[in-house]
Homo-oligomer: A and B are copies of this chain.
Amino acid sequence: MSTQLTPDAVTVLDRLAIEVPSWAYGNSGTRFKVFTTPGTPRDPYEKIADAAQVHAHTGLAPEVAIHIPWDLVDDYDALSAFAAEQGVGIGTVNSNTFQDDDFKFGGLTHEDAVIRRKAVDHHLACIDIMDATGSRDLKIWLADGSNYPGQTDLRGRQDRLHESLQEIYARLSGDQRLVLEYKFFEPAFYHTDVPDWGTSYAQVTALGDRAMVCLDTGHHAPGTNIEFIVMQLLRLGRLGSFDFNSRFYADDDLIVGAADPFQLFRILFEVIRGGGMDEGTPVAFMLDQCHNIEDKVPGQIRSVLNVQEMTARALLVDHEALRAAQVAGDVLGANAVFMDAFQSDVRPALAEYREARGLPADPMAAYAGSGYRERIVADRVGGTQASWGA
């Protein structure tokens, strides 16, 4: 009596693609310490090579998100060609206005027009890169905020944010999109300029149809029902992308599904419910994680597998039985239908699914046995290991 995948579920799983972030392959850490790891990439090419391993063993990660300036190169055609050779493409372009001394007090929201100009220009440069790589999405996460009450004028910053975004949005062409991420805390401690989905939603609707909200699963206050927000943004037509990760308390950026697998199940259930895995979905799925203490490539493989597994479980939900129980006000019955899917073990079925597609049944073991790690440890000697600062 083994759990099987339905044909419809297989169709959805075939469609599932999760972008991996180039920066997950570099070193990361906390304010206390960034530990180094043998074999860590020294440049964007090596990051892409590592990312390609994830796709090679899982078939789930055809695109690599890049971060500018961390992934600045002279020639994006060359980078794209290299990626293609590795079997992947360049995905979302992520901007960065938090590591330049000029941005100490903000970028797109800064009081000083000169610094705002610089921040806007950085985004325009990102769009130039998108033009070169063929990326669809410009993702903007703002570190702007303040640490002390009174430090800044909350309202003025919001108005300046709108103006800055307008200029960036106007530069998009074709089917390019702007996705605006929200985060309620860190690196600013008193206020952040886009703290919640409401603010992101209000800002993007003021721009136009190709401006969307990015939901990072780690960017909410405790107790927040994240799947509700997923439902609402899909309902409002503004869920542009996910940054998947998990957390126990703050923005831990742990492996997605590691802290609360049931929450991931509920989120993916709402994604499916709201059409977010339909053909032509507007939702880009992406990881945004740190592998501070664990190996990075297998950390990423584990992550995309977690999303795949929970998607498969969410696809098991018997919608007819669920609706019947919901309509009948049968609380325990509806919950039981829901939990039955979550409690089922889809791993054997997924192993078969993979093998049928020429992929390893156990991608973690396949990677471990591939010798790749040993190779990069041996090869990548000298140079400066990539990290958030490079």
Contacts and interface: CB of A to CB of B under 8 A. Distances in A.
Interface of A: 1-3, 28-36, 98-99, 101, 104-105, 111, 143, 147-155, 158-159, 184-187, 189-191, 195-199, 201-202, 220-225, 227-229, 231-232, 234-236, 247-250, 252, 254-255, 258-263, 266, 270, 273-274, 292-295, 298-299, 302, 309, 317, 322-323, 326-327, 329, 331-332, 334-339, 342-345, 347-348, 364, 388
Contacts of A262: 149, 259-262
Contacts of A111: 326-327, 329
Contact of A31 (B31, B149, B235, B236): B31
5 contacts: A186-B249, A190-B254, A259-B262, A336-B364, A345-B345
A298 B250 contact: no
Contacts of A293: 104-105, 147, 331
A45 B300 CA distance: 45
B258 A335 contact: yes
Nearest to A273: B155
A199 B99 CA distance: 34
A329 to B, nearest CB: 5
Contact of A223 (B147, B185, B294, B329): B185
A127 to B, nearest CB: 23
A109 B244 CA distance: 31
A31 B186 CA distance: 9
B274 A248 contact: no
A199 B238 CA distance: 13
B31 A294 contact: no
Contacts of A28: 31
Contacts of A196: 196-198, 224, 229
User: Number of copies of this chain in the oligomer?
Assistant: 4
A1 B1 CA distance: 9
A231 B158 contact: yes
Contacts of A329: 104-105, 111
Contact of A202 (B31, B232, B263, B337): B232
Contacts of A197: 196, 198
Contacts of A274: 155
A101 B184 CA distance: 32
A302 B152 CA distance: 19
Contact of A228 (B104, B195, B261, B294): B195
Contacts of A148: 254-255, 258, 294, 331-332, 334-335
A232 B158 contact: yes
Given A248-B225, A343-B345, A202 B331 contact: no
Contacts of A302: 332, 336
A30 B202 CA distance: 28
Contacts of A159: 235
Nearest to A342: B261
Given A31-B388, A254-B147, A152 B334 contact: yes
Contact of A151 (B33, B270, B335): B335
Given A104-B293, A147-B331, A155 B231 contact: yes
Nearest to A389: B33
B151 A331 contact: yes
